[in-house]
C-alpha cells in the first residue's frame, strides 16, 4: 500500500492519507465483530483478511473483554441476539441472526447444549450442529455412539482445549442396551473428527448418575466442563468436571451446609467464579447464590446473595451471566430475561414471547473464529 | 550513551523545532532508543523524521498525563480524521507502544458504526467487487448492517428517497 504522508494543513488539495497495511490490521483488530463483518464488503483484500482464521484468532485473543451476547430463541421461531450491557427494554440493542441452514421448521425441539468461543451447540431432531451466530459458519457433527438419544443424555457439554487448539463435545451417559448404571464417557474432537471413548481406570465404569430430573447443559469454567451428579458408589451428590486438556474427570464437592436438591439448583459462572444457584420453594421463594471463592477448594464455598423471586411470574430463575457493572441477568425459564443488581434487587423484566413453550437461551461471545477443518458457510 | 546533559534528550522535528525531553519519555520511543544505543559517541541531537512539532506537543501531553496516572484523560477528539491518521503515522514511526494502542483504538472507535462507503473513503480504498459479488456478501451478512446506531449505506439512503 502507498505510504504518502500529507504535509501540513495549508494545502487546499484533498489528499488522501494512506495508511500502511500493517497499521490497517492493527485498527481492524480493535473493531468489534459486527463492524468487521460489515467491512468484509469494503474490498477483496479486506474480505480475505477478515475471513482469515489467523486474523480471527488474533482478534479473539486480543480482546480481553469479549463482547458477550445472549441468544434467545423462541419457538415462534424468533432468534434474537441481545446485548447484555444494554437495558433489556432497549430494542435497538438486539440483532437477528439467521438459522436458515436448519430446514424451515418450527423450532420446538431445538435445544442449545453448549457455548464456547462464539460457537453454540444446537441439537435439533437428533442432529448436533456447531454454529457461530456472528459469521453463520456451521458444522454438523455425528451423534455420540453411546449417547445417541440426546434427550436422555444428562451429561453433555462443549469446550475448548487450549493446548491443542481443539474443540470438544463431551457426553457421558448410560449404555442404552444395558439394564445397569454403566456410564460411558466419550468425547468428539473437531480435529480428530471422531468420537472416542475414555475408559474408567478406577473401576469398570464411571460411577456418575444424573442428579436432576432434567438434563442440564454443562457449565464451562476454567478449561473444564462441570455438571451436578450423583455418585452411586459413595451415595453422594458431587459436582463432576471434565478437564478438557487432561481429558479426565475430577470431582468438586457441594458446599457443606448446602441444603438443596440438585434439581432445584444449577451451575453457572458468576464473574470470575464458579457458582451455584438454588431455588428455595418451600420457604420464601428465594434464590441463593453460592460462589466458590477459591477454585477447586471445597471449603471456599460461600453464600453471597439471596434474591427474591416473588415478582417473577414464572417463579423460576436460572442465571446466565453478570454484566460489567455486576448486574445479574437470568432467564425466567419461559418468556424472557430478568435483571437484578448485585444487591439482589430486581431491576428489569422483559418478555420476548407470550406462548407457553419453553425458549432456548444461552450466553455466547461474538467471534469471527472458524472451526478446525470447518468449510461450510450458511 | 546519549548526551551528557543528565536527563534531557534533544529531539529535532521535521519542521526544525528542537524539543528537550526527559530521557524517560525518549525511552518510550523505541525508534529513538535504537538510535541512541547504536551511536558510538554521545549524540547531541536526534532528528525525528516524519514527526512535526504539533505531534510532539501531543506526545508530551500524553506523557505528562500518564506519569500522573491520568492517561485516560488524554483525548484526540479535537483532531479531525486526517489529523488523527497523521498523528498515528508519527507515533507508529517512533514506535511508541502505549500511545499507538490509544490511537489505533481511537481510529477504530471512530469507524465502528460507519458505513462501508465512509470507511472506503477514509482509507482511500476502491471497491473491487462486482455489483453481484457485493450484493451476495451483503445479503449473507445483512444483520451486521442493521441497527439504529449503524450509519446507513449511501445506496440505501438514495433508495428511500
- Whether A9 has a pLDDT exceeding 50, the answer reads no
CA distance to partner chain A, nearest, from residue B149 (Å): 8
Q: Which chain A residues are closer than 8 Å to B107 by Cβ? A: 27
Q: Which residue of B has its CA nearest to A33?
A: B144
A51-60, A63-72, A78-87, A209-218: least confident range: A63-72
Q: Which chain B residues are closer than 8 Å to A49 by Cβ? A: none
Q: Which chain B residues are closer than 8 Å to A35 by Cβ? A: 111-113, 144
Residue A352: per-residue pLDDT: 82
| pTM of the full structure | 0.84
pLDDT digits over A322-349, tens only?
888 888 888 887 788 888 888 888 888 8
CA distance to partner chain B, nearest, from residue A26 (Å): 7
- Inter-chain touch B125–A30, beta carbons under 8 Å: no
- Whether A13 has a pLDDT exceeding 50, the answer reads no
Q: Which chain A residues are closer than 8 Å to B113 by Cβ? A: 35
B139 in A contact zone (CB under 8 Å): no
Higher pLDDT, A64 or B63: B63
B77 in A contact zone (CB under 8 Å): no
Residue A121: per-residue pLDDT: 95
HEC string for chain A: CCCCCCCCCCCCCCCCCCCCHHHHHHHHCCCCHHHHHHHHHCCHHHHHHHHCHHHHHHHHHHCCCCCEEEEEEECCCEEEEEECCCCCCCHHHEECCCCCCCCCCCCCCCEEEEEECCEEEEEECCEEEEECCCCCCEEEECCCCCCCCHHHCCEEEEEEEHHHCEEEEEEEEECCCCCCCCEEEEEEECCCCEEEEECCCCCCCECEEECCCCCEECEEECCEEEEEEEECCCCEEEEEEEECCCCEEEEECCCCCCCCCHHHEEEEEECCEEEEEEEECCCCCEEEEEEECCCCCHHHEEEEEEEECCCCCCCCCEEEEECCCCCEEEECCCCEEEEECCCCCEEEEEECCCCCCCCEEEEEECCCCCCCCCCCCC
Higher pLDDT, A85 or B129: B129
A5 — pLDDT class (breaks 50, 70, 90) = very low
The overall average pLDDT reported for chain B is: 88
Packed helices B81-94 and B97-111: angle between N→C axes, nearest 10 degrees = 150
Greatest Cα pair distance, chain A, in angstroms, is 87
A3-7, A138-142, A316-320, B62-66: least confident range: A3-7
Residue A52: per-residue pLDDT: 94
| Backbone phi, psi, residue A44, to 5° | -65, -40
**Average pLDDT over every residue of A142-163:** 90
Cα A237 to Cα A228, A231, A252, A359: the distances in Å are: 7, 6, 10, 28
| Backbone phi, psi, residue A222, to 5° | 50, 45
- Inter-chain touch B120–A47, beta carbons under 8 Å: no
**Average pLDDT over every residue of A129-156:** 89
Residue A374: per-residue pLDDT: 45
Residue A45: per-residue pLDDT: 94
Q: Which residue of B has its CA nearest to A19?
A: B123
Higher pLDDT, A289 or A16: A289
Q: Which of B95, B103, B101 is nearest to B30 (CA)?
A: B95
The residues on A that touch B, with CB distances below 8 Å, are 5-6, 9, 16-20, 23-24, 26-32, 34-35, 37-44, 46-47, 92, 95-98, 136, 377-378
ipTM confidence? 0.91
pLDDT digits over A207-266, tens only?
898 888 888 889 999 999 999 999 988 999 999 999 999 999 999 999 998 989 998 899
Q: Which chain A residues are closer than 8 Å to B138 by Cβ? A: 41
Q: Which residue of A has its CA nearest to B142?
A: A38
Q: Which residue of A has its CA nearest to B128?
A: A43
- Whether A124 has a pLDDT exceeding 70, the answer reads yes
Higher pLDDT, B31 or A74: B31
Q: Which chain B residues are closer than 8 Å to A86 by Cβ? A: none
Residue A329: per-residue pLDDT: 86
Residue A12: per-residue pLDDT: 44
Q: What angle do CA A114, A115, A116 make, to 5 degrees?
A: 130
- Whether B160 has a pLDDT exceeding 60, the answer reads no
**Average pLDDT over every residue of A274-298:** 90
Residue A4: per-residue pLDDT: 44
Nearest to A5 among B50, B119, B120 (CB): B50
pLDDT digits over B99-139, tens only?
999 999 999 999 999 999 999 999 999 999 999 999 999 98
Interface A:B, Cβ pairs < 8 A? 94
| Backbone phi, psi, residue A122, to 5° | -115, 135
Q: Which of A275, A256, A378, A356 is nearest to A318 (CA)?
A: A275
Interface test with B, best of A1, A2, A17 (most B CBs within 10 A): A17
B6 — pLDDT class (breaks 50, 70, 90) = low
B138 in A contact zone (CB under 8 Å): yes
Nearest to A41 among B138, B149, B150 (CB): B138
Q: Which of A270, A36, A88 is nearest to B111 (CA)?
A: A36
Residue A6: per-residue pLDDT: 44
Q: Which of A374, A353, A378, A372 is nearest to A108 (CA)?
A: A353
- Whether B159 has a pLDDT exceeding 70, the answer reads no
Residue A375: per-residue pLDDT: 40
Q: Which residue of B has its CA nearest to A7?
A: B86
Amino acid at each position: 500500500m502507498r505510504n504518502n504522508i500529507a504535509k501540513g494543513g495549508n494545502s487546499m488539495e484533498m489528499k488522501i492519507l494512506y495508511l500502511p497495511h500493517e497499521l490497517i490490521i492493527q485498527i481492524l483488530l480493535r473493531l468489534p465483530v459486527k463492524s468487521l463483518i460489515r467491512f468484509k464488503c469494503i474490498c477483496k483484500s479486506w474480505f480475505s483478511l477478515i475471513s482469515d482464521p489467523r486474523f480471527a484468532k488474533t482478534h479473539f485473543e486480543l480482546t480481553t473483554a469479549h463482547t458477550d451476547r445472549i441468544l434467545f430463541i423462541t419457538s415462534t421461531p424468533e432468534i434474537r441476539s441481545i446485548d447484555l450491557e444494554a437495558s433489556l427494554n432497549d430494542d435497538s440493542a438486539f440483532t437477528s441472526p439467521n438459522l436458515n441452514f436448519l430446514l424451515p421448521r418450527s423450532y420446538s425441539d431445538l435445544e442449545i447444549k453448549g457455548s464456547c468461543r462464539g460457537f453454540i451447540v444446537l441439537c435439533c431432531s437428533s442432529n448436533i450442529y456447531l454454529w457461530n451466530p456472528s459469521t453463520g459458519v456451521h458444522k454438523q457433527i455425528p451423534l455420540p455412539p453411546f449417547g445417541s438419544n440426546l434427550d436422555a443424555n444428562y451429561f453433555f457439554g462443549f469446550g475448548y482445549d487450549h493446548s491443542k487448539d481443539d474443540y470438544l463435545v463431551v457426553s457421558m451417559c448410560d449404555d442404552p442396551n444395558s439394564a445397569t448404571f454403566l456410564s460411558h464417557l466419550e468425547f468428539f474432537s473437531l480435529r480428530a473428527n471422531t468420537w472416542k471413548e475414555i475408559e474408567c481406570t478406577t473401576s469398570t465404569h464411571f460411577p456418575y448418575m444424573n442428579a436432576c430430573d432434567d438434563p442440564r447443559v454443562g457449565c464451562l469454567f476454567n478449561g473444564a466442563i462441570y455438571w451436578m451428579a450423583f455418585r452411586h458408589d459413595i451415595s453422594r451428590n458431587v459436582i463432576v468436571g471434565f478437564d478438557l486438556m487432561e481429558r479426565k474427570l475430577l470431582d468438586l464437592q457441594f458446599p457443606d451446609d448446602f441444603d438443596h436438591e440438585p434439581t432445584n439448583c444449577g451451575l453457572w459462572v458468576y464473574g470470575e467464579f464458579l457458582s451455584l444457584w438454588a431455588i428455595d420453594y418451600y420457604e420464601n421463594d428465594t434464590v441463593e447464590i453460592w460462589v466458590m471463592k477459591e477454585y477447586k477448594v471445597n471449603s471456599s464455598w460461600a453464600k453471597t446473595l439471596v434474591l427474591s423471586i416473588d415478582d417473577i411470574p414464572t417463579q423460576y430463575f436460572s442465571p446466565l451471566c453478570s454484566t460489567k457493572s455486576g448486574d445479574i441477568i437470568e432467564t425466567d425459564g419461559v418468556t424472557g430475561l430478568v435483571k437484578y443488581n448485585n444487591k439482589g434487587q430486581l431491576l428489569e423484566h422483559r418478555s420476548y414471547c407470550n406462548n407457553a413453550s419453553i425458549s432456548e437461551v444461552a450466553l455466547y461471545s461474538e467471534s469471527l473464529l472458524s472451526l478446525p477443518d470447518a468449510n461450510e458457510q450458511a | 550513551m546519549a548526551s551528557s546533559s543528565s536527563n534531557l534528550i534533544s529531539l529535532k522535528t521535521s519542521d526544525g523545532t528542537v524539543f528537550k525531553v526527559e530521557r524517560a519519555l525518549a525511552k518510550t520511543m523505541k525508534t529513538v532508543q535504537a538510535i541512541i544505543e547504536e551511536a558510538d559517541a554521545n549524540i547531541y541531537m536526534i532528528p525525528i523524521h516524519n514527526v512535526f512539532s504539533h505531534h510532539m506537543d501531543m506526545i508530551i501531553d500524553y506523557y505528562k498525563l500518564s506519569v500522573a496516572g491520568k492517561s485516560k484523560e488524554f483525548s484526540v477528539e479535537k483532531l479531525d480524521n486526517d489529523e488523527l491518521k497523521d498523528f498515528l503515522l508519527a507515533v507508529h514511526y517512533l514506535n511508541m507502544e502505549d500511545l499507538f494502542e490509544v490511537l489505533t483504538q481511537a481510529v477504530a472507535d471512530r469507524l465502528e458504526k460507519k458505513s462501508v462507503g465512509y470507511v472506503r473513503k477514509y482509507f482511500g480504498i476502491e471497491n473491487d467487487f462486482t455489483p453481484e459479488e457485493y450484493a451476495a456478501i451483503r445479503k449473507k451478512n445483512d444483520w451486521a448492517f442493521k441497527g439504529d446506531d449503524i450509519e446507513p449505506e449511501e445506496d440505501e439512503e438514495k433508495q428511500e428517497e
